[in-house]
Amino acid sequence: MAAMEIHFTLNGQPVAVQAEPDEMLLEVLRRELGLRSVRETCGLGICGACTALLNGQPISTCILLAPLAEGCDITTVEGLGGRHPVQRAFEEVQAFQCGYCTPGMILTIKALLEEQPEPDEETIRRALGGNLCRCGCYLKIIQATQRAAVLLAEERRRQVERSAASTS
């Protein structure tokens, strides 16, 4: 069977890409779409360096057959724009050294905080259990998650105030 065309939404934009049916989404994101934030490390779905959000939920792109992304909404860290509260928290806290694992961490934390805006430390640790950082920045990453929760809460409060001001 020849290459097939796969359609999905990437960071808010519809895309159509060529892929073989036995290729993983990771290869397609890197080769066809030039995304470098998704990284192959273990190839087993264990380390989290290839994390993307599929319909808002983190998945391992290294073990997702590319055609399974058909019709889905895919988000990579490029789609967050650089000033997302989780990204700002990572900068403020300096929650990285080499930065290799950071995109996967940020996406996992974004999904966690959307589900649970005020997670306790145990919940954060469990959510990040499948994202490995070989520099060992775990304590800083947990602090960054807590800081991101505060920044997101502030953002929500400002939105409420703005919508209240515009309706009064």
Partner 1 sequence: MARHIPAWLAPTSLEEALELRARYGEEATVVAGGTFVGILMNQGLLQPAALLTLRQIPQLAYLRIEDADASGQPLLRIGAMTTHRALERSPLVQRGWPVLAATFALVASPRVRNQATVGGVLADADYASDPPALLHALEASVVARSLQGERLIPVEELIIGHYETSLRPDELLTEVRVPRTMEGAVYRKFRSRSSEDRPCVAVAAVRRRGRLRVVVGAVAERPQYFPEICALAEGQAPIEAALAREIGERYAAAIEPISDARGSAHYRRRVIAVEVRRALEDLNRIIATEGGSQRHA
Q: What is d(CA 154, CA 148) in angstroms, rounded to the nearest whole number? A: 10
First to last CA, the chain: 61
Give the number of other Cβ atoms within 10 Å of residue 85's Cβ. Answer: 21
Least gap, CB of 89 to partner 1 (angstroms): 19
Task: Please choose, out of 28-36, 45-53, 74-82, 95-103, the segment that lies near partner 1 by the rule CB under 8 A.
Answer: 45-53
Report the alpha-carbon angle 70-72-78, nearest 5.
115
Compare residues 20 and 73 and give the one whose CB is closer to partner 1: 20
Pick the stretch among 9-17, 91-99, 108-116, 139-147 that binds partner 1 (CB under 8 A). Answer: 108-116
Q: Can you tell me the distance from the alpha carbon of 129 to that of 131, in angstroms, rounded to the nearest whole number?
A: 6
CA 45 from centroid of its chain's CA atoms:
15
For position 22 contacting partner 1 by CB under 8 A, the verdict is: yes
Residue 67 in contact with partner 1, rule: CB under 8 A: yes
Query: Distance between CA 111 and CA 115 in Å, rounded?
Result: 6
Provide, rounded to whole angstroms, the least separation between the CB of residue 156 and partner 1: 22
* List of residues contacting partner 1 (CB under 8 A): 1-2, 4, 20-22, 24, 43-46, 48, 51, 54, 57-60, 62-65, 67-68, 70, 108, 111-112, 125-127, 129-131
